[in-house]
Chains A and B, each alone.
Chain A
Amino acid sequence: MPSRVYARPLELYDGAGISSGALERELQLSGFRKGDGNRAGTYRRSGGHFVISTRGFRFPDGSESKRRLALNIYGDRVQDFSVLNGEASPIVRLEPAQIGGIYPSHKEDRILVQLEEVPALLPATLMAVEDRNFYDHFGIAPLSIARAMLANIRAGQIVQGGSTLTQQLVKNFFLTRDQTLLRKGNEALMSILLELHYEKGDILETYLNEVYLGQAGTRSINGFGLASQFYFGESLKDLDVHQVALLVGMVKGPSYYNPRRHPDRATERRNLVISEMEEAGLIDSVRAARARGLPLGVSGKPSYSENRYPAYIDLVRRHLARDYREEDLRSEGLRIFTTLNPSIQYAAEYAVTDTLPRLASGETRKALEAALVVTAKDSGEVLALVGGRDPQFAGFNRALDANRPIGSLIKPFIYLSALEQPERYTLITPVLDKSFVLEFDDGRRWEPKNYDTKERGEVPLHEALSHSYNLPAVRVGLDIGVDVVKETLQEFGVTSSISEYPSMLLGSVSMNPVTVAQMYQGLATSGFNTPLRTIREVTDSGGEALSRYSLEVDQVADPAAVHLVQYAMQETMQEGTGRSAYYTLPKELALAGKTGTTDDGRDSWFAGFSGDLLAVAWVGRDDNGPTSLTGASGALPVWSRFMARVPQHGLSPVVPDGVNYHWVNSERQALTDEYCDNARLVPLIAGSEPDQTVSCSGTLQRRIQGWFEGFFQ
């Protein structure tokens, strides 16, 4: 039995954030059908009003009973939630969507089917064409070889093969494809042994799941379940007569009869099988004639698996590998409850596929790849993962395996390390934006530069971060020590090696997008490292809990210092390198974020968070070539488009103990009054307030004007 993988169940209650469209998609993904909303497993929608009849589900932590629910969606939130029938509750979980299966022993994914769920026409046709006496023979059938020859002569071509299904299975399963007599002998012997050990039904089911039915690059398409998905984009149980006939016909030669490459051959072969079906009495002549007249019905683009979220499942698999042996995942029929949020995943995939074709131009545009990681800010649950520009493609997973220099994404950690020493650094401390040369012992020289190659002299620290100036970042980093910055990164969850060369202060250290998300989690949660999770629970096939992966938090930084960094990261979005986000996003989100760019635009990064979500986007090329993109022009558009598609809470961090907001004049590092020139409301750690005060006596007019402005807001 394969392991079943579930998305997180949707929780419905008054105030739950979801749009009508997302709710309907979610219902369909969980197997609900549009209907009267009275029968279990159906829903009815009129505008924003939904009536849903659940089937009930046994979760690891208890059962959710069968209920009929009513609710309205208004302003992308659930309202008027009520249980019409069934046990009353202010909060109800829907059945989770099954998002895939895990079969890690094979290189290729299978869509394993069970005999009883396969449409009866499939095995019947298979036997009619390949092995008429399947239920009677003992593994090999000398007689059927003769019968096959006869049928072939009658048809004027090869319609049937002489090997039994058992022999074909043996051939497919155990042996090489060399055509030797020795092999034929082995095959026969093993077929007989197989028949002695297993029931006919088991052999048939295994055959259905193993038979070779095509090739997609280096990947072989095994089993009717996967083949159905691959050729038709449909579930095996939904196939029509002509589609069943095509698949059965292809057993004989999957590449020769490849319907995408050789549609004429495939059609001819299919129609032969349909005639066989008719002759065997499986379908009447009317249906047969109709089926013969239909086009092949093959989908344009091959879809490789029922795993609609290959990148996400990949991460789940790697997390599972920490605690489970591959054999157990394959065979024990485990049930794996993940944290995947299908609505968020949908928005994330949309953001990547919709944005990439608009970035850069020409060859670069074609070569662009991307990754996007989305987590729940306070729980560390990974909600969505996109591993490349084609999210359905189960190939190179950039979210996990593209290790790239992070560029300026490192800067918040430099300044955090500095701000943890409030006696030395505050948000308004002047830092020097001026070039310098660093000479190493071996004579090498390093001369960092700003992105715009300009130098601005003294700038306040918050501005140095929000505008991502390089020179002050390196100066501050060297002042507090590269080792201290490295320690901060490690406390925030980076386990890969970090170089102590000063160039790390400009982000020469390489990480994958998931690691970046882990690292930013601590910034987003006021200094609490929260390990990223994709799995909530694993149960055995009977529903008994095997493992629970609980929420963990670990304070790794002073919340006061993190609050100051969050301030500067919000400023980044309002005035700094991330401000283009607000061309499309509403200001109420009060986002915090940071851009990152590496040399020649090889990597374009953006990491940022709202009240609910943390997202990290990367854009670049697989060949590590230049792109002309910056963090703001490559990754940020992907990130913004994602954020724009998800209803969520704005960021409004609670002011921690020991932090107070003051009006300051950051040019002069002095306290000032609200309506003075250059006044800015800035959080300061108690004790680090500036000693000086500047009043703006000369600008009484401005103060009065300001007072009026405030009055009318």
Chain B
Amino acid sequence: MNTRFLICAGSMTAFLALAGCASSPGESIYVPIGGDAPRAPEPPRTTSEPEEPRVWRKSEQPETSEPVESSPRSTSPSYRDSGESLSPAALSLIREADGLLARGDAPAAIARLERAQRIAPRSAEVYFKLSEAYVASNQLGAAEQFTLKGLSLAGNDAQMQRAGWLLLADIRRARGNVAGADQAEERAAAL
């Protein structure tokens, strides 16, 4: 059983590494204080000499268009079909967690993944990773729940859905829930 999980975990890692780089489904609209995503153009980025005070030349500023009323025609509530992608910061924490898992330190990996979860709470990958870490520490109940949570955020990303359902099937089988495992496998196959 454990070997099977290691294989599964390995394949998940490879899959997620890929998913992290794949074209991103984006994230929710960020709304700063005072409302409305920033409309004015971004100030020039200064990375080389951040100590220098910024020089603003009026002529260099791109034209600012009048703010457009962006509310949609219908006031229909907001929803999305796809889950959210991982930021580089979250991804770096997940890589650290991978390293810790590989060294057999599941508790430390979980701590790292919870940090990642806090900064990317709507990304299915983080929850699948947490599930993997709980599998490694033989807490299959928690693992199953995190897989379900990940699946709830995977949206219409078939690859992500498939990975989640297969992970769920493995966990359920290990817990002796054969019917549940078969069901999960069917879901994966139907995608």
Contact = CB atoms under 8 A, between A and B. Distances in A.
A626 interface: no
B87 A15 contact: yes
Given A552-B142, A611-B122, A77 B76 contact: no
Interface stretch (A97-105, A131-139, A374-382, A440-448): A374-382
Contacts of A377: 121
B31 interface: yes
Contacts of A550: 110, 114
Given A91-B89, A379-B118, A528-B149, A654 B38 contact: no
Given A75-B32, A75-B37, A379-B118, A575 B75 contact: yes
Contacts of B77: 566-567, 570-571, 574, 590, 592
B29 A652 contact: yes
B87 A11 contact: no
B92 A89 contact: yes
Interface in B70-94: 70-83, 87-89, 92-93
A570 B78 CA distance: 8
B161 to A, nearest CB: 8
Interface in B1-52: 27-38, 42-43, 45-47, 50-51
A647 B87 contact: no
Interface residues of A, number: 82
Nearest to A79: B45
Interface string B141-170: 010011011011111100001000000000
Contacts of A72: 43, 45, 50
B79 A655 contact: yes
A378 B117 contact: yes
A345 to B, nearest CB: 16
Given A15-B89, A526-B152, A680 B119 contact: no
B180 interface: no
Interface in B99-147: 107-108, 110-112, 114-115, 117-119, 121-122, 127, 130, 142, 145-146
A369 interface: no
A142 B121 CA distance: 69
A272 interface: no
Contacts of A548: 107, 111
B176 interface: no
Contacts of A680: 74, 76
B90 to A, nearest CB: 8
B62 interface: no
Contact of B28 (A11, A60, A651): A651
17 contacts: A15-B87, A49-B50, A61-B111, A74-B38, A82-B47, A91-B93, A378-B121, A528-B145, A553-B127, A586-B36, A650-B30, A652-B28, A652-B29, A653-B80, A654-B155, A706-B73, A713-B72
Interface string A680-704: 1101000000000000000000000
Given A650-B29, A653-B79, A13 B37 contact: no
Contacts of B151: 657
A548 B109 CA distance: 13
A559 interface: yes
A654 B33 contact: no
B32 A77 contact: yes
Contacts of B89: 11, 13-16, 90-91
